Amino acid sequence: MSNPFEDDNSGYLVLVNDENQHSLWPVWIDVPAGWTTVHGEAPRQECLDWIETNWTDIRPASLLATIDQR
């Protein structure tokens, strides 16, 4: 059984939610509510590289905001 997140020949998007959590997303499946496309359509590896560059701390944004206030 193939997985829609592991297909090197398909196009992908990078989605972001309110907590700045990022999700890889297959371009051919509807984007779920509460998520915004910030990159793509692009090949899978390019999307992953983009995420590595642009999402540096994987913790939720609301948490990081309160930690930074200390």
Partner 1 sequence: MTTFAEPSTAATAAATATTIATADLLARLREVVGAHPGRAAVHAVDGSLDFAELDRRSAGLARALRGAGVRRGDRVGVHLARTADLPVALLAAWRAGAAYVPLDPAYPAERIAFMAADARLAAVVSADAEPPVPAGVPVLRPGAHAEEDRSAEFAPHPLDSAYVIYTSGSTGRPKGVEVPHGAVAGLAAALELSGAYRPEPAVVAWNASVSFDASVQQWIRICRGDTLVVIDDTQRAEPARLVRLLAEHGVTDLDLTPSHWQLLREPLAGARVPRLFMGGEPVPTRTWRELADAGIDALNLYGPTECTVDAVTAPITGPGPHLGEPLPGVRAHLLDARLAPVTAAGAVGELYLAGPGLAHGYPGHPGLTAGRFIADPFAPEPGARMYRTGDQARRSADGLLEYVGRVDRQVKLRGFRIELGEVEHALGALAGVTAAAVTLYEAAPGDHRLAGYVSGAAGRPADLLSELRRALPAHLVPSTVTVLDALPLTPNGKVDHGALPAPAATPAAAEPAAAGGVDEQVAEVWRTVLGVPDVEQSDDFLSLGGHSLAALRVVHLLRRKLNVELQLRDLLDAADLAGFTAAVRRAAAAGPAAARPTLTARREAVR
Of residues 3 and 9, the one with the C-beta less far from partner 1: 3
DSSP 63: H
* CA max distance for the chain: 48
- How far is 4 from 12, CA to CA, in rounded Å? 10
Q: Does 37 bind partner 1 (CB under 8 A)?
A: no
- How far is 29 from 26, CA to CA, in rounded Å? 6
CB of 70: closest distance to partner 1 in angstroms? Answer: 6
- Interface with partner 1 (CB under 8 A), residue total 38
Contacts with partner 1, residue ranges (CB under 8 A): 1-5, 14-15, 17-19, 21-26, 29-35, 48-49, 51-52, 55-60, 62-63, 66-67, 70
